């Protein structure tokens, strides 16, 4: 499957859109928090999170013993470029 | 759509020059830069790792706005504004490959 197919397929499911909506509102959440919020088993939540991660829509990071999920931030390339621009201006100025 | 904002410790003229002077672009953006700064003008950027990208200048409003289009890969729009800390630079990049997916994600969120 192409990455775009994966994105569309991930978004086709209402439960997964619900998870994305929750993450958009709350910033980050653990699978346990998401299970408490939505009428799904933890197992179903975990499975959906894998699908969303594979599509690149959600990323995760470990914080101590838990894994927190968030909507994937894009544009890291620009963060680096703009940092380089700031350093350039500081050197020059 | 990618949107980034940064406040740079320099005046608008200075930031504009860093964005548009090929000699200065070589210091922060790419290793080799050619830029014909006028609407329809061509730009090419080359990096030491062998990567290269071409673009066409779309809009030039000196000190305020610069828009260029990556070859077949979407637009990049720079907007400059005065800020207490210097200059606020906003970059918006739209890429055809991602536009539909991210727009769809946005609508999905709106109707979730």
* pLDDT tens-digit readout, B67-96: 999 886 688 999 999 999 999 999 988 765
Task: Compute the nearest-CA separation of B39 from chain A (Å).
Answer: 23
Which of A20, A23, A88, A93 is the best residue to mutate to test the B interface, defined by the most B CB atoms within 10 Å of its own CB? A88
With CB atoms and an 8 Å threshold, state whether B108 touches A86. Answer: no
ipTM, 2 decimals?
A: 0.84
pLDDT at position A29: 92
With CA atoms as reference, the chain A residue closest to B15 would be A89
A11 touches chain B (CB under 8 A): yes
Residue B85 near chain A (CB below 8 Å): no
- Rounded CA separation B8/B19 (Å): 12
For residue A77, what is the domain's CATH number? 1.10.10.10
What is the distance between the alpha carbons of residues B30 and B26, in angstroms, rounded to a whole number? Answer: 5
Which residues, at least 6 apart from B64, have a Cβ–Cβ distance to it below 8 Å?
B12, B79, B80
- Answer with the residue of higher pLDDT: A63 or B109: A63
Pairwise pLDDT comparison (B88 vs A78), residue with the higher score: B88
Q: Please give the full DSSP string across B55-97, using - where no structure is assigned.
A: EEEEEEETTTEEEEEETTTEEEEEEEEEETTEEEEEEEEE-HH
Count: domains in chain A: 1
Tell me whether residues B27 and A8 touch, CB distance under 8 A: no
- Give the pLDDT of residue A63: 79
Examine the pLDDT at B45 and tell me if it is beyond 60: yes
pLDDT greater than 70 at residue A74: no
Positive/negative CA dihedral, B39, B41, B47, B50: positive
Minimal CA separation from B17 to chain A, in Å: 10
Residue B98 belongs to domain spanning: 2-111
CB proximity B15 to A under 8 Å: yes
| Domain range for A29 | 3-92
pLDDT for residue A66 is more than 60? yes
Look at chain B and count its residues: 112
* CATH number where B75 lies: 3.30.530.20
Structural domains of chain B, count: 1
* A62/chain B closest Cα distance in angstroms: 25
Query: What is the nearest CA distance from B41 to chain A, expressed in angstroms?
Result: 22
For residues A16 and A39, give the distance between their C-alpha atoms in angstroms, rounded to a whole number: 12
């Amino acid at each position: 499957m192409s990455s775009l197919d994966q994105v569309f397929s991930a978004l086709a499911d209402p439960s997964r859109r619900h998870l994305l909506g929750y993450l958009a509102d709350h910033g980050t959440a653990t699978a346990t928090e998401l299970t408490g919020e939505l009428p799904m088993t933890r197992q179903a939540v975990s499975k959906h999170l894998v699908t969303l991660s594979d599509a690149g829509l959600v990323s995760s990071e470990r914080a101590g013993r838990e894994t927190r999920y968030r909507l994937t931030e894009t544009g890291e390339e620009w963060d680096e470029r703009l940092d380089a621009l700031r350093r350039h201006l500081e050197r020059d100025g | 759509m990618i949107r980034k904002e940064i406040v740079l410790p320099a005046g608008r003229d200075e930031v504009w020059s860093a964005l548009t002077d090929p000699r200065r672009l070589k210091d922060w953006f790419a290793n080799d830069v050619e830029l014909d700064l006028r609407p329809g003008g061509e730009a090419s950027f080359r990096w030491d790792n062998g990567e290269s990208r071409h673009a066409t200048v779309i809009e030039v409003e000196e000190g305020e706005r610069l828009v260029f289009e990556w070859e077949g890969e979407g637009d990049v729009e720079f907007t400059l504004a005065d800020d207490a800390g210097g200059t606020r630079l906003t970059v918006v990049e739209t890429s055809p490959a991602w536009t539909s997916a991210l727009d769809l994600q946005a609508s999905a969120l709106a109707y979730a």
